[in-house]
Amino acid sequence: MRRKTCFLSIIVLFVLLALPLIVQAEASSTMWIQTYGGDGWDSVEAVIQTSDGGYALAGRTKSFGSGGYEFWLIKTDSLGNVEWNKTYGAGSALSIVQTSDGGYTIAGSMLVKTDSEGNMQWKRNYGEGSAWAMALTRDGGYIIACSSLVKIDSEDNIQWNQPYEHKYGAARCVIQTSDGGYALAGTGRVIIDNDLAGYYAWLIKTDPEGNIPENTRLSLGFLALGIALLVLKIAFQKRENRKQNSPT
């Protein structure tokens, strides 16, 4: 009986000692840190998980390409090990989607479409400013928010380009809504005497052609009025602060 108890104690002790090693080995496959780039200035602005369980990262690099900031795409496996990285000319990538053919579309200072190995299929400019936001649409195309709202089909053709009539800041995100329209949101800045005085958030809903309905235009009018009142309030507070801080 004593031998049996001793044997069971040894087994229990072995399990208790081995368990942390088993947990650590499993955790190492699900938790990890990787770094990317070279000797230059490199940054990533967007990441997605790809259909093969890996990741695709979009940003800009000075370590690869011509030496200036280059449009940059990195593809990794599920553990973050680099499978390939590509550059596509001067610029910065800010958003990325994986397309139905396994390739990638990257938006930023331009729009780039690649195959599944990162080989460029086409690139183009689509409007003024950089695109912080892009989404796939249900017809296989793209919706891009830059200085305007741009709809592009799957063959790289611009279908329409609509100013979203928001003069207070660029869109930072965009989605297609259940009715086929689009919603875009962003951050605006309040400027007083050439100084940044504050920020505010905004949201715009459009129809499927990117038009802003009349009731939305009315809402934008009230928004403009609200911002004007905010500017007056901040200006009044600044004036009162100057009075209090001035020598008597």
Quick one: which of 160, 64, 70 has its CA closest to 106? 70
CA dihedral (117, 118, 120, 123) positive or negative: positive
pLDDT recorded at residue 192 = 64
| pTM metric for this prediction | 0.71
> Both tokens of residue 82?
């680099």
- DSSP result, 182-216: EEEEEEEEEEETTEEEEEEEEEEEE-TTS---HHH
pLDDT recorded at residue 77 = 96
Reduced to 3 states, what is the DSSP secondary structure of residue 92? coil
The single-letter code of the amino acid at 16 is L
> Both tokens of residue 66?
């011509």
pLDDT recorded at residue 23 = 43
pLDDT recorded at residue 175 = 93
Residue ranges for the chain with pLDDT beneath 50: 7, 12, 15, 19, 21-23, 25-27, 217-218, 222
Pairing of strands 70-76, 82-90: antiparallel
Strands across the sheet with 142-145, in order? 133-136, 142-145, 149-152, 158-162
> Both tokens of residue 151?
């709809």
C-alpha span between 201 and 126 (Å, rounded):
25
